Structure 1
């Protein structure tokens, strides 16, 4: 496989590892206290560091949070499933969705650029803006959702108002985003132990100490609509991370390997998601009429303050990941429109603050009706993400086999990939269109979903249609030969 190229960096990165790309730094050399200088520029091979096992803690630690618990609670509190059906649906959704998500992880070490910048190779430099802008809204949606839950938890633990707590959570997240990549990796590793311990203690306390209310294990009723909705929500939770994963692997050595990157990401994200979702399902089954946080507070009486404090602090790291990816994507849009703009640490800081200010408004407004708003947000998000992930994976694994001309990704005219790739753009809109009849949400239920008693299989239809469609469109239009013959210029 040819070695992808990059435009040589104009200055040295503060993240460079003086011990070499494959050897860990000692404590004195740690860059945890150093602000990351790079943004969306290519990471040269001599600045790569880290191991695939580091990916486990990034995704395990970042997923043990209140939003994951709330997502699991949808299965029993909103969809009305019995606990046994909720467990099965959560497992299926995470296992399947995690496979799609983790396949993107290998792209970071191979290409050394952020995930959404790579979209230029599939959609063209200007065509990619459609997808990148939508993904920015996704980052802001998750950021705002985390602000609400983190603020409520911090308020419960400290007595502060929810609004004040929301602002505090947001400010801490902004600071972590400004420091950047390595701090996020370090904090999520710590959270894997601390938040993981709090999660384990929560299960023990509810099941063995406090006990569950009567009806917890026999409540709810099975319905395919609720079951498939839970599968879809769990699958989306994983697929929604697809635009993130290369952002956290792009500094890794290029020889990290597809399998190692896949399994490090997959195991951390799936295990780290399933466990808190199961806790949420348990809380929803035990107290289906209660708000998720109120239900947790009741079931964890005696230790709730400590657990909420840990989860509230932990959510700042997860939100830093949302804001960090959102900042990189915003910079990608800005640099497409204004190619002379070369933002580094200061540019990322300014963008992060602006995004925080934008997300703060819906967080403060939606705090009182969070669960319903969040479920609708997930449904719409799934519809627009599926065609992108299908195009990206087919393009990377089946058409170009991981070989990309990196310099073209930074060219305003798209270089080898042009300004618009109409095959990808057409597939994107077709992908959204074919899903609409199968959507089942509180806002809209398509005719196909109605005929199946509200069962939502839209994301499955989207993947099944778009993957082969994009592949054969590229082959038929003669683009495949050109794509596979791109020869990267020596760095």
Structure 2
């Protein structure tokens, strides 16, 4: 994409981007995933490794790197679909579940988008409230919301531009933090006596980091669908997203692991601010404000997913920019109202519910990637995605649904959350390993079911239509 700031609101919505409108370079994907991860929420997440799982710093760093690299493999595999198909991720899901069958999954994704946006507004607002004297919680939330509106409304190009800015601004801020904290407290980090290596700590940290990356899967190809197609472009898109997401997450999480070990149970943001001395205000402001970029991505992709649902039932007309803008405004308003009027305790509970809801993405990821890379090998009839009957993919695909629900059910005993902890999770001291079980079971199950369906179906049919 061009390096200049976009001056026009994106006109494309959920339909395939024509080849003559494809533009940009795969390396543009590096900055959108690097820049959007450089925020205070990522720092706080990294602090769990040492502050909650009680790992020493170096083992914590190793687990953070391993978890992010594992999770980013799945995330980046989704990104490579964008250049070839040219449609948003949840539209492509119709190729596995059918045009109507994709609706409930897409609806769950929208709920997650809005929920994450509301939670981000609360966290970002409270971060600014801590930094700026006399700023109210509402004032902080409104600042984050105001910064989210423009990229969410302008769409693809503006989001890329905002992420590029955050790459430089927050990249410098994170490196400064790492240098200052490491220089002043390096010995303390390497000689922590209270921390110890444990299986629970390592697995818990790896799972947390991996799920951080997998959470991007439902919308990662939304940011790559404008790229020109071609095997070389797809390969480069994978690497750009993979390394952008990994480096953009590992650096702030490493900082968080440092602070988590040094904070001794105190507030992570406050401890970091004290250690930065005179640099505290600009650095903490940058890391708090950068959450607006991630928020804009949540709302923008939530609007595309909502539009996908609407198109399912109103397929006789082509839905244009005006409807996307109306949906975007609606989602921004809902997220703001949730953040402002819902009690802080409820938002905490709701955030935990969203973490539990993430279990629905694991079997979806397994089915989508298995279908794309192992069964169809990237060859889809994209026009059929928009046909009122689903074309060759039908309205519903029963085998995909069966595998999907099996994938959810098999995870339940392994789930670990403040709202629910399964019996198998208790055996490993509350570590959530459900995502591993979901991937391991769903992938071969769907591969077998899809192969059996293909052998039983008439030639040329890819799904069972009801």
Aligned runs of 1:319-358 on 2, under 5 Å?
319-340=295-316, 342-358=318-334
Give how far 1:388 is off.
0.2
Preserved contact between residue 431 and residue 466 of structure 1 (Cα < 8 Å): yes
Alignment CA distance shift 1:426-1:287 (3 Å): same
| Alignment RMSD (CA, Å) | 2.4
Counterpart of 2:233 in structure 1 is 257
Residues of 2 paired with 1:326 and 1:284: CA distance? 33
Q: Partner residue of 1:393?
A: 369
CA distance in 1, matches of 2:371, 2:244: 25
Work out whether 1:115 is the aligned partner of 2:89. Answer: yes
2:61 is paired with a residue whose SS is: helix
* Deviation of 1:78 (Å): 2.6
Q: Map of 1:381-460 to 2, 5 A cutoff?
A: 381-460=357-436
Counterpart Cα distance in 2 of 1:365 and 1:89 = 38
CA–CA separation in structure 2 for the residues paired with 1:301 and 1:286: 15
Gaps of 5+ in 2: none
By how many angstroms is 1:38 displaced? 1.0
- SS in structure 2 opposite 1:63? coil
Q: Name which of 346, 349, 352 aligns with 1:376.
A: 352
The whole-number CA distance in structure 2 between the counterparts of 1:207 and 1:468 is 45
Aligned-pair CA distance for 1:295: 2.2
Aligned-pair CA distance for 1:213: 6.8
Are the equivalent residues in 1 in contact too, given 2:339–2:347 (CA < 8 A)?
Answer: no
For 2:457 and 2:23, locate their aligned partners in 1 and report how far apart those are by CA, in whole Å: 34
Name the structure 2 match of 1:62.
36
Paired residue secondary structure (1:104):
helix
User: Structure 1 residues 150 and 161 mapped into 2: Cα distance closer, same or farther (>3 Å)?
Assistant: same
Does residue 1:91 correspond to 2:65, yes or no?
yes
Q: 1:269 aligns with which of 221, 241, 245?
A: 245
Q: Please name the residue that 1:315 is paired with.
A: 291
Q: How does 1:299-310 map to 2 (within 5 A)?
A: 299-310=275-286
* Partners of 1:69 and 1:278 within 8 A in 2: yes
- What is the deviation of 1:215? 9.3
Instruction: Tell me if structure 2 keeps the 8 A contact 1:216–1:286.
Output: no
Q: 3-state DSSP class of the match of 1:433? A: helix
Preserved CA contact (<8 Å) 1:439 1:445? yes
Contact 2:116 2:351 in 1 (8 A): no
Q: Separation in 2 of the partners of 1:446 and 1:310?
A: 39
CA apart distance, 1:341: 5.1
How far, CA to CA, are the matches of 1:341 and 1:293 in structure 2? 49
Indicate which of 221, 240, 263 corresponds to 1:287: 263
What does residue 165 of structure 2 align with?
Answer: 190
Instruction: Give the C-alpha shift of residue 330 in structure 1.
Output: 0.9
CA offsets per residue over residues 194-216 of structure 1, 9 Å max, x none? 11000001112222257787898
Measure the CA separation in 1 of the matches of 2:189 and 2:32: 37
User: 2:55 is paired with a residue of what secondary structure?
Assistant: coil
Give the equivalent residue in structure 2 for 1:245: 220
TM-score where L is the length of structure 1: 0.88
Note the C-alpha offset of 1:429.
0.8
- Contact 1:210 1:300 (8 Å CA) reproduced: no
Question: Which residue of the partner structure matches residue 138 of structure 1?
Answer: 112
2: CA distance, partners of 1:405 / 1:218: 59
Q: Looking at secondary structure, tell me which structure has more helix per residue.
A: 2
Q: Do the aligned residues in 2 keep the contact of 1:126 with 1:336 (CA within 8 Å)?
A: yes
Partners of 2:157 and 2:459 in 1: how far apart? 34
Task: Give the Cα separation in 2 of the matches to 1:360 and 1:288.
Answer: 33
Name the CA shift for 1:293/1:344 in 2 (closer, same or farther; >3 Å).
Answer: farther
CA pair 229-221 structure 1, distance change in 2 beyond 3 A: same
Q: Distance in 2 between matches of 1:312 and 1:279?
A: 15
Q: 1:94 to 1:479 in 2, by over 3 A?
A: farther
Check whether the contact 1:206–1:212 (CA below 8 A) recurs between aligned residues: no
TM-score, normalising length: structure 2: 0.92
1:254 partner SS: coil
- The correspondence for 1:74, drawn from 29, 43, 48, is 48
Q: Secondary structure at the match of 1:302?
A: helix
* Per-residue Cα deviation, 1:418-450 (whole angstroms, up to 9, x for no partner): 111111111111101001111122222212222
Q: Which residue of 1 aligns with 2:192?
A: 217
Q: CA deviation at 1:355?
A: 1.1
Contact 1:399-1:480 within 8 A present in 2 as well: no
Find out whether 1:169 has 2:144 as its counterpart. yes
